[in-house]
Amino acid sequence: MTRRDATANPRTTLAAVVLVVEAGLAVLGVWFHYGMTAMYGDITDVAAGWGARVSSAADFGGPAVLLVVGAAVIAVLVTAQRWARFTAVIIPVLMVGALTAVTPVALREKLVSQYDDTPQCVSAESGVTGPGSVAERESQRAFELVRHVGHFSGGGGSGVGGCDRQLLLTEEVDVLRHYRAALPDAGWRVVEDDARGLRAERDGMAFEVVVCGRGGVVWAGTTDLGGGARCRPEYG
C-alpha cells in the first residue's frame, strides 16, 4: 500500500462519517421545518408559487440548510473521491427540494387543525344562559345561514356586542363580490355596500364584512348594533 493510499483511506472514512451526519441533519431539518410550519406557518402561502415556497421554506429550514451545507463543504475538502463529493453536494439540493415540497402539505395540515370553514362563536367555555351566551348562539346561527369563503380563525370578540372573526384567504378571491351574491341567496337584504365592506340584515340580525390586508373580518349581531366588523393592525 502506498503512502497515498494509506492517507486516502482515513480521509474516505472521515468523509463517509461526515456524509452520514450531513444526511441526518438534512432529515431532521425537513422534519423540524414541517412541524414548525404546521404550527406557525402563514396559511396564505398554501397556493403560493415556487419562489414564495422557497422563501417560506427558508423561515424555519434555513438554519438547518446552512448546517448541511457546512457538512457538505467538510466532506468535499477531506476526500478526493468523486462519489463522496457528489453525494455531499446533492444532499443540500435534495433537502431544499424536500423543504419546498412539504411546505404546502404542512400548511394544509394547519388549515385543517386550526381554522374553520364557518366562523365559530360558541366554544366549550361558552355558558348555557346569560345575555352573552344567548348572543353568541344568535350570532352563530346567523353565520351558519351564509355561504362563506376563505378560512376563519378563533380570534376575535364574542358576546352581547356580536361576534367577529378574521377571514383569511389562500388564493385570490373578491370577498365582497362573493358576499354580494351569497347574502341575498340566503335571504339577507344588503343595506350598506361600498368598496370597503357591506352590511346585510335578516330577521333582526345583521351581518357585516370588511376587507383587510390578507382577507377580511366578518361580524354578526343584532340590527341595533353596528360597526362590528373592523380591521385590526394584526390583520394587515
Domain encompassing residue 107: 3-114
Is 233 a residue whose pLDDT tops 70? no
Phi/psi of residue 228, each to 5°? -75, -25
Same domain, 44 and 75: yes
Q: Is 8 left (phi over 0), alpha (psi -120 to 50) or beta?
A: alpha
221 inside domain:
yes
CA distance between the termini of the chain: 69
40 inside domain:
yes
92 inside domain:
yes
Contacts by 227-233, CB closer than 8 A, 24 or more apart: 228/161, 228/162, 228/164, 229/164, 229/197, 230/164
Is 46 a residue whose pLDDT tops 50? yes
Tally of structural domains, the chain: 2
* 212 band by pLDDT with thresholds 50, 70 and 90: confident
State the pTM of this model: 0.70
Same domain, 135 and 102: no
CB 88 within 8 A of CB 68: no
Most confident region among 86-100, 115-129, 151-165, 208-222 by mean pLDDT: 86-100
124 inside domain:
no
The cell for 63 is 438554519
Same domain, 182 and 107: no
Same domain, 105 and 194: no
Per-residue pLDDT reduced to its tens digit, 180-191: 999 999 999 999
Same domain, 101 and 12: yes
Is 236 a residue whose pLDDT tops 60? no
Which pLDDT belongs to residue 213?
77
Q: What is the chain's length?
A: 236
Same domain, 178 and 206: yes
Residue that is last in its domain, among 79, 114, 149: 114
Is 2 a residue whose pLDDT tops 70? no
Same domain, 56 and 85: yes
CB 81 within 8 A of CB 7: no
